[in-house]
Amino acid sequence: MGSITTNQFKQGVKLLIDGDPYNIIENEFVKPGKGQAFNRVKLRNLKNNRVVEKTYKSGESLELADVTEIELQYSYNNGSEWVFMNPDNFEQIVTSLDILGDTVKWLKPQEMCQVTLWNNSPISVMPPNFVNLKVVETDPGFKGDTATGGSKPATLETGAIVKVPLFIEINELLKIDTRSGEYISRVKDL
């Protein structure tokens, strides 16, 4: 993939450190007085999301990580493989539950997702900010008991469980904010 030196460091540059891909989130040039210059860098490990701080001597050379961000369409899953497709070339990219984590709750077929690839393999998948999902199970209507605070759990077609208002029925289409996991509104089928 090639390498860069510290004077090319900036936010967004992807580096390979100890075998893992990292993203530079902060880069500070430090040069005390007439001394040697350093770069103090905050990095996010793209595999485990942890943030670390490292200091590099000015001029030090580092390997670039082959990391790209791409938009892929979610196709389907067979319980062990989750299949995405690149709509530009119809190429299929497969990933698993341990990469997807919580994202699996919001994956609806045909929806576009932001996928981070490292050496052409997915290391993280971001669902769209909002997704419309159907309710497959929930308790029916009002029970006349307002002490519950006006919400009840509902299971959606992906298996995700969200808090919804009491008037929501099975088969209704709901708009969900995937970032907070919250019900936003009902969606009227066109």
Partner 1 sequence: MTHTILRLTQLISKLREYLLKSDAMEVITPILLDLPTSEPTISNFKIEKRNKYLRTSSEFELKKILIEKNIDVFEIGHVFRANESGSIHLEEFRMLEWYRREKSYIDLMEEISSLLEFIGINYKTLCLSYKKVFEDAFDIEPHTATDSDLRDLIRKNLEVNETLLIGRGELFDCLNIVLMKTKLFKENAIFVYDFPAELRGYSELCDDPRYAKRFELYIQGIEIVNGYQEIVDSEIQELCFKEENKFRKERGFPTAALNQEFINILKKNNCGPYSGAAMGIERLLAVLHQVESFNQLKIY
Residues forming the site for partner 1 (CB under 8 A) = 7, 28-38, 40, 52-58, 60
Contacts of 35 (CB under 8 A, 6+ apart): none
Closest separation in Å from C-beta 36 to partner 1: 4
Work out how close the CB of 31 gets to partner 1 at its nearest, in angstroms, rounded to a whole number. Answer: 6
Q: Closer to partner 1 at the Cβ: 22 or 74?
A: 22
Nearer Cβ to partner 1 (27/103)? 27
Q: How far is residue 151's CA from residue 155's CA, in Å, rounded to a whole number?
A: 13
Q: How far is the CB of 11 from partner 1 (least distance, A)?
A: 12
Q: At its nearest, how many Å lie between partner 1 and the CB of residue 116?
A: 24
Residue 12 or 33: which CB sits closer to partner 1? 33
Of residues 33 and 149, the one with the C-beta less far from partner 1: 33
> b/e string for 2-21 if b means 16 or more Cβ within 10 A?
eebebeebeeebbbbeeebb
- By beta-carbon proximity to partner 1, the closer residue of 42 and 186 is 42
C-alpha to C-alpha distances, 170 to 64, 141, 153, 166, 176, nearest whole angstrom: 50, 10, 12, 11, 16
Q: Give the residue with the Cβ less far from partner 1, 4 or 37.
A: 37
* Distance in Å, CB of 184 to partner 1, minimum: 37
Structural tokens at position 129? 């900010």
For 83, the token pair is 């299949």
136-to-93, 98, 169 alpha-carbon distances in Å: 29, 25, 9
Residue 67 CB, shortest distance to partner 1, in Å, is 21
Cβ neighbors of 145 (< 8 A, separation 6 or more) are none
